[in-house]
Amino acid sequence: MNRHLVSLLVIGVVALAWGVGHGAREAAAAGAGVLAVVLASAAWTLISARGASIKRRHPRRAFEDDSLPVVFTLENRSSLPFFCPVIEDAFLPDKAHRKRAVVYPLVPARRAALTRYRGECLARRGRYPLGPARLTVKDPLGLFERTTAIGEREELLLYPRIAELPGLPTEEPAALFDTGPIVSRLTGASVDFLGVREYRPGDGLRHIHWAATARLGVPVIKQFEPRSSSFVTVFMDLHRLSMRGLGRMSTLEYSVRVAGSVTAWICRRGGCVRVVGEGQESFCVGPGSGEGHLLETLEQLAMVKADGELPLDEVLRRWAPEIEAPSTAVLIFSAMSMRFESYVDVVALLRARRIEMTAVLIDEESFTAIWAEQHRRPEEQIGMDDLARALLAEGASVVIVRSGDDLEEAFANPLRPGDEPPGPDPDADVDAAVEWL
């Protein structure tokens, strides 16, 4: 309890009791007056708090590491002013979750005031609730304060942070992210209608062919083919054991950032891109182009999890027949040690179909193992550098990413066929690795 309030109560009660007991009207009146002030102060906070309402304004979507302004409109509908009202809010993406916004010195009766705070989006991608806010109002003497939950719970969607990549490595040194001529600059118009096929989990709802669905009685979607080679398919490894590291420093977060950065580069230059992965739920966004498709992809990437049981090689095997040629496939390897021998047919098939390949090798050894199976190293496991040499021998361009690396720098220095990947074991048996492919 407020010590000043206690002092006033003691003074008021003592003065009133002494005045009544000794017939001192002045003392009794003074004591009653002090107690009346205390009661009026209590009523002030109760009445004024009931007339409060707030509205929160903030961006509904943001990127990791963004700094966001959150603005409150505090409306006083009561007949009494608010003195130094304080708004406390929960902004979970920040390390300091509790945020305070103060209006000084007061909000007049039947008026509104603006106040704000700034939140730092330091958490990893995902959906985060904001609020509800808590409003604290006081009486003019500061004897009482009343705190009430006010306003609605809202939501903030954090996109993965994307890097300004120099481009996608191809066989031509001067043509990073060279995906061919751009035929159409219209959003989503860089593909031609090919036909329809049965709907699969993960397909975008905007590609459903409603007329054919009604006629056949089962959901079907439209299939497209690229008008030119301006087509990129990004494959993510969402197998459970591909996940290493914690928080934003994990193989999954690097994989998501790579996928988002590649999608941003292609979409903003009029190309067509599709992102594919297989977790517990199928993940497929696209094909599409433009800012609208980029935002749709980032929204899906914000929620993706590495919780699947299907290795990347199986994902590639399923999708290889559907990759249009000529085009580019970006293969994001989050775990090089998993069933490496089974990539043989897939890589050969992609090469035979004139699919340009860019492999992004995320060095799993630079991340903390979180599963017991990840601590056991099979004898037949091939190292990352050996895998890079094998892929380079097959004509793929290779980008190596380790924990703590900057993606812009990593993509600025890709390995091309004929290059030697830097590694701790330059004398490793390269021939054994190449024989796998």
Residue 142 sits in a domain whose CATH number is: 2.60.40.10
170, part of any domain: no
Q: Are residue 239 and residue 128 in the same domain, yes or no?
A: no
Give the span between the Cα atoms of 72 and 50, in whole angstroms: 18
Q: Count of CB atoms within 10 A of residue 210's CB? A: 9
pLDDT of residue 180: 42
Task: Using CB atoms within 10 Å of the CB of residue 244, give its burial: 0 to 12 exposed, 13 to 18 middle, 19+ buried.
Answer: buried
Cβ proximity of 164 and 270 under 8 Å: no
117 close to 100: Cβ distance less than 8 angstroms: yes
Domain match, 281 and 424 both: yes
Measured CA to CA, the distance from residue 361 to residue 334 in angstroms comes to: 7
For 86, 103, 142, 339, 367, the CA distances from 81, given in Å and listed in that order, are: 13, 12, 13, 70, 56
Q: Please report the pLDDT score of residue 202 as a whole number.
A: 56
In a domain, 181, yes or no: no
Answer whether residue 134 is part of any domain.
Answer: yes
For the chain, the domain total comes to 3
89 in the same domain as 6: no
Q: What is the pTM of this model?
A: 0.76
Q: Where are the alpha helices (DSSP H) in 102-165?
A: none
Question: Does residue 414 belong to any structural domain of this protein?
Answer: yes
How many residues are there in the chain? Answer: 437
What is residue 283's predicted lDDT score, i.e. its pLDDT?
86
Whether 4 and 91 map to the same domain: the answer is: no
Q: What parts of the chain have a pLDDT lower than 70?
A: 1, 167-194, 200-204, 206, 223-230, 336-344, 373-383, 422-437
245 and 392 share one domain = yes
Residues 9 and 148 in one domain: no
The whole-angstrom separation of Cα 75 and Cα 58 is: 18
| Phi then psi dihedrals of residue 296, to 5 deg | -65, -40
In a domain, 221, yes or no: no
Domain boundary, last residue among 131, 159, 187: 159
B/e letters for 30-65, b = 16+ CB within 10 Å, e = fewer, are: bbeebbeebeebeebbeebbebbebebebeeebbbe
Do both 30 and 57 map to the same domain?
no
**Spatial CB neighbours of 82, under 8 Å, sequence gap ≥ 6:** 48, 52, 74, 76, 103, 106, 107, 137
Q: Does residue 113 share a domain with residue 18?
A: no
Q: What is the Cα–Cα distance from 239 to 223, expressed in whole angstroms?
A: 27
352 lies in which domain range? 227-436
Residues 325 and 232 reside in one and the same domain: yes
Tell me the C-alpha distance between 8 and 12, whole Å: 6
Question: 195: exposed, middle or buried (C-beta count within 10 Å: 0-12, 13-18, 19+)?
Answer: exposed
Give pLDDT, residue 340: 59
Q: 65 and 16, same structural domain?
A: no
**What's the half-sphere exposure (Cβ side, CA atoms, 13 Å) at 373?**
9
Q: Residue 212 domain-assigned? A: no
Residues 319 and 379 in one domain: yes
- Which of 109, 131, 159 is the last residue in one of the domains? 159
> Is residue 206 included in any domain, yes or no?
no
- Residue 191 domain flag: no
CA dist 235 and 178 (Å) reads 18
96 and 29 fall within a common domain = no
- Domain of 302: which CATH number? 3.40.50.410
User: Comparing C-alpha atoms, which of 382, 378, 401 is closest to residue 253?
Assistant: 401
Q: What angle do CA 218, 221, 222 make, to 5 degrees?
A: 145
